[in-house]
Amino acid sequence: MKPCHTDDLNTVEFWDSFWTTTRGMYESHACPDVVWLLRLLTAGKEKTLDVGCGVGRYFPWFRSDEIHGIEISPKGVEQAQKQFPDAIVSVMDIVKDGILYPENTFDVVYCGEMLEHVSDTVMLVNDLRRVTKPGGVVVLNTPFEDSIPADAHLWFIYRKDLTNLFKDFTHTSIFRFSNSPDNLWEHFLVVGTK
pLDDT at 179: 64
Angstrom distance (rounded) from CA 32 to CA 37: 9
* pTM for the model: 0.92
Q: What pLDDT was estimated at residue 130?
A: 98
CB count, 10 Å around CB of 191?
A: 18
Asked whether 29 and 174 are in contact (CB, 8 A), the reply is no
In this predicted structure, what is the pLDDT of residue 18?
A: 84
**Whole-angstrom distance between the N-terminal and C-terminal Cα of the chain?**
23
Domains of the chain are: 2-193 (3.40.50.150)
Give buried/exposed letters for 30-68 (b at 16+ CB in 10 A, else e).
ebeebeebbeebbeebebbbbbbbbbbbbbebbebeebb
Residues of the chain with pLDDT under 70: 22-29, 179-184
DSSP type of residue 21: S
Determine the pLDDT at residue 184.
62
Residue type, 53: C
CA 46, CA 65: separation in Å to the nearest integer?
5
The reported pLDDT for the residue numbered 160 is 97
Beta strands in the chain (DSSP E): 2-3, 47-51, 66-71, 88-91, 106-112, 132-143, 155-156, 171-178, 186-193
Distance CA 87, CA 66 (A): 7
Residue 160 burial (10 A CB sphere; 0-12, 13-18, 19+): exposed
